[in-house]
Structure 1
Amino acid sequence: MSSRPAIRRPARLGSALTVALLLGGCGADIDTDPKADADVMVRRCGEPVPYTVPKRAVAYEGGSADKLFSLGLTDHVLGYVMPPANPPVSESPWAAEYAKVEMLSDDLLNKELVVSKKSDLVVAGWNSGFSEQRGITPEILDRLRIQSFMHAESCYNYPGFPEKTAPFDGLYTDLERLGAIFRVEEKATEVVNGLKKRVNAVRATAPTPAADPLPVFLYDSGMDQPFTAGSQVPPNDIIKTAGGRNIFDGLNERWTQVNWEAVTQAEPEVIIILDYGDQPAKEKIDFLKASPLTSALPAVRKNQFFVLDYNEGISGPRNIDGLEKFASYLTSLNP
């Protein structure tokens, strides 16, 4: 990954008036508050950036769209880009909201689409939507006077302005920051408090820290070498909060490649299968059962597989759905 200068000034994205608004400030009605036409300063990873209220937001993948829909921002969403890995939007709790906006592409995010649709905000992750290799980065969009928002959990290695946060904390941060950008702080607080309440309920019933947590391996994909979850993505918090232990928790990475030897040495008792729209979970389970590299793993011998929906694994409100389901599964193993 190439580096950028540590200091740069983003292009002005709105009016000349800048209003510094703290995330914890009082709520505002988007349609009636005269300050909605002014700038608000919100951090994009580690960088303070001025935002005006977007009216033509483009979301990349389900996690981005779900965050916007959960805050009641459908009227401010132009559409979404949904690559094949993402399961059908009809499965989302916000399926009715997806139906009200345009599906812009079933491919990766690109600059040409955003420009042609006259978008005024792009919501995606660093190296997950935004990409230096594909020529669509916040810096490039700044020059085009198109606003951008990055998921906090993807910011830990953002060049120049890194920000490190635990994945669930990143989810809460995103909702609060989006609430500030769209002037719906009260709604954001309500949504975040609801998610935290659900997380705390799971944490209260999980095995105590003194107990020996079950080792868990998340299998994303890969046959020669597996792709898995490090400590910087939501499944790590899902596993830990539910009372398990991600066998690759020590890797300061997001989604990363490892080797089968490391997996076998860790002897996982449970395997989480990340279920893509284009890579069904059953095919992955069949591979693990058939491969001599994995067929003797404790989780495989005991048939202890848990299927995690793609949108429960990437940053978004459905992380908490995945947490509740996984916690229930772990409980079922030790009734």
Structure 2
Amino acid sequence: MKTNSAPVALRRPVALGTALAAVLLLSGCGATIEADAKAPPKVTVKRCGEPVAYTVPQRAVVYEGGSADKLFSLGLVDHVHGYVMPPANPPVTESPWAADYAKVKMLSDDLLNKEIVVKAKSDFVVAGWNSGFKAERGITPQILDKLGVQSFLHGESCFNYPGFPEKSTPFEALYEDLARLGKIFRVEDRAKAVVGRLKERVAKVEAQAPEGDPVPVFLYDSGTEQPFTAGNQVPPNDIIKSAGGRNVFDGLDQRWTQVNWEAVAEAEPEVVVILDYGDLPAQKKIDFLKNSPRTKELPAVKKNNFFVLDYNEGISGPRNMDGLEKFAKYLRELGPKG
């Protein structure tokens, strides 16, 4: 990524297996949930740090897999009008919620913009700040407010949201997103149950984490002259930590950010996590690291300790726990010294 925003999604097949079964339990197999008929017409919920009054959305537009996953996991497919999925994203047929995707419209395979939202007659848009919502592209929550369109921002992206920043750990932001969406759609009990299951999965992984000092881990997103990686404001930081590792750049209060190869070499990572997306396959990234004079002597590279993290397991959404469970298994099998 060339910015401090969420990564621009690219692609590779997702292994579902037991993770799929677990996610289907979360989603209630796409079952819709009836809102409380006695619920007030509006509820106030925070959009990042800003209190906003919401009516129950009926024609939601979601941007990328993380946004769709959150609503589908809450059984809200009947409230989703359509999705915007840039071509670099994984095919929706690979999603644990493929059946829900099939029930709604694909509105665009480009970036989110105001015209898509207006044409869809949407009353609610879910996206991240500086990824789906971006001032330079003319689509922000404030612009949509003026059009009478409600919006919701992923808490993970609120770190640098202008005017109303909000900071929390990525997993806590995910839990809070689901709780807030549950309140907006009047399905708070369902949201509480979904969050509870996600927390149980995290706790189980943490209880099995390898003993001893956490393994130093470098996440490689992209970049040759300078690498792009994960700071402590994006889900891979929590994935690495809960699995028993340590993100070598966990001291950076950033999201997806640029560092330099000297800092990577100094950190001496024992494992490299490759964020796998799109037209730059994971194997090409691995080949680069193995051949570049700047990286071929890294402990992780010399030991061939590479773990591939799927894009939708690395952006904010319920599939973070799929990525966590897979990475935790990898670390356990790797052994205490990598």
Same topology, TM > 0.5: yes
Separation of aligned partners in 2, 1:111 and 1:314: 23
What amino acid does structure 2 have at the position aligned with 1:107? Answer: D
Equivalent runs, 1:94-243 vs 2, <5 Å = 94-208=97-211, 211-243=212-244
Separation of aligned partners in 1, 2:36 and 2:318: 28
Partner of residue 289, structure 1: 290
Q: Which runs of 5+ in 2 are unaligned?
A: 4-32
Compute the displacement of 1:128 (Å): 1.6
Deviations 1:218-243 (A, max 9, x none): 00111111110000000000000111
Q: Is the 8 A contact 2:210 2:331 kept in 1?
A: no
Partner of residue 33, structure 1: 37
Partner of residue 269, structure 1: 270
Q: Which has the higher contact order (CA 8 A, sep 6+)?
A: 2
Q: Which runs of 5+ in 1 are unaligned?
A: 2-28
TM-score (norm 2): 0.88
Partner of residue 77, structure 1: 80
TM-score (norm 1): 0.89
Q: Is the 8 A contact 1:219 1:274 kept in 2?
A: yes
Percent sequence identity is 73
Separation of aligned partners in 1, 2:292 and 2:43: 54
Question: What SS class does the counterpart of residue 86 from structure 2 fall into?
Answer: coil
Segment of structure 1 superposing worse, 256-265 or 85-94: 85-94
Aligned pair count reads: 305
Partner of residue 321, structure 1: 322
Compute the displacement of 1:89 (Å): 1.1
Partner of residue 19, structure 2: none
Separation of aligned partners in 1, 2:274 and 2:88: 14
Partner of residue 17, structure 2: none
Question: What SS class does the counterpart of residue 196 from structure 2 fall into?
Answer: helix
Separation of aligned partners in 2, 1:180 and 1:166: 21
Q: Is the 8 A contact 2:66 2:315 kept in 1?
A: yes
Compute the displacement of 1:248 (Å): 0.4
Question: What SS class does the counterpart of residue 79 from structure 1 fall into?
Answer: strand
Compute the displacement of 1:30 (Å): 3.7
Q: Is the 8 A contact 1:271 1:305 kept in 2?
A: yes
What amino acid does structure 1 have at the position aligned with 2:256? Answer: W
Q: Is the 8 A contact 1:85 1:279 kept in 2?
A: no
- Greater Rg over alpha carbons, structure: 1
Compute the displacement of 1:115 (Å): 0.7
Deviations 1:16-63 (A, max 9, x none): xxxxxxxxxxxxx64560436x01100000011000010110111100
Matched, 1:333 2:334: yes
Partner of residue 312, structure 2: 311
Question: CA RMSD of the aligned region, Å?
Answer: 1.3
Question: What SS class does the counterpart of residue 35 from structure 1 fall into?
Answer: coil
What amino acid does structure 2 have at the position aligned with 1:271? Answer: V
Deviations 1:91-132 (A, max 9, x none): 111111111111111111101110111110000011121001
Alpha-carbon distance change, 181 to 201 in structure 1, aligned in 2, over 3 angstroms? same
Separation of aligned partners in 2, 1:112 and 1:146: 12
Separation of aligned partners in 2, 1:158 and 1:251: 17
Compute the displacement of 1:271 (Å): 0.3
Q: Is the 8 A contact 2:36 2:186 kept in 1?
A: no
Question: What SS class does the counterpart of residue 167 from structure 2 fall into?
Answer: coil
Compute the displacement of 1:273 (Å): 0.4
Runs of 4+ in 1 over 6 A off after TM superposition: none
What amino acid does structure 2 have at the position aligned with 1:214? Answer: V
Q: Is the 8 A contact 2:312 2:319 kept in 1?
A: yes
Instruction: Pick one of 65, 70, 78 that aligns with 2:68.
Output: 65
Partner of residue 298, structure 1: 299
